[in-house]
Structure 1
Amino acid sequence: MIGKIIGALVGREMDRRDGRGGLKGAAIGALSMGAMRRMGPLGLILGGGYVAKKAYDRRRQSRDI
């Protein structure tokens, strides 16, 4: 359950890079979820850390403006 949520968040963050949205983010999220599942707890930690860092950077940037 947590892996699916983190996979969706990773896909959303990857899709935000180009700003268009669409199927690419969903595909990347599904692939990253599979990779995280195979890596076990380490994969969940890495995926969660990636999403947390992106959220922290976005919040910090909005505060600086």
Structure 2
Amino acid sequence: MIGKIIGGIAGVQASKHVKGIGGTGGAVLGAIAVPVISRMRLPTLIAVGAGGYAMKKLLDRKKAKEADMPPEAEAVSA
């Protein structure tokens, strides 16, 4: 029970950083994540963690590449 409460609180805090998920949705996801994660075996947890890390690095590279590109000049019609 305590784990679900802590998971809900963590979910609310995480939802503040994620676009499209509100506080209530984050709390529900956090509460559901606790029993799901507790049933996973160690190799599965490592694979999920590595996949999440790889996805974050990929998205960060994409965001950095987009920031480095100059804005395209808009065509002015006369």
Structure 1, unmatched stretches of 5+, are none
Q: Which runs of 4+ in 1 moved over 3 A?
A: none
Structure 2, unmatched stretches of 5+, are 1-5, 67-78
Q: What is the rounded CA distance, in whole Å, between the counterparts of 1:64 and 1:38 in structure 2?
A: 38
Structure number with bigger Rg: 2
Residue of structure 2 equivalent to 1:62: 63
Structure with higher RCO (Cα < 8 A, 6+ apart): 1
Instruction: Specify whether residues 33 and 50 from structure 1 end up closer, same or farther in structure 2 by C-alpha distance, changes over 3 A only.
Output: farther
Q: What is the rounded CA distance, in whole Å, between the counterparts of 2:28 and 2:47 in structure 1?
A: 18
Q: Percent identity?
A: 24
Residue of structure 1 equivalent to 2:35: 34
Residue of structure 2 equivalent to 1:16: 18
**Superposition CA RMSD, Å:** 3.1
Aligned residues between the structures: 55
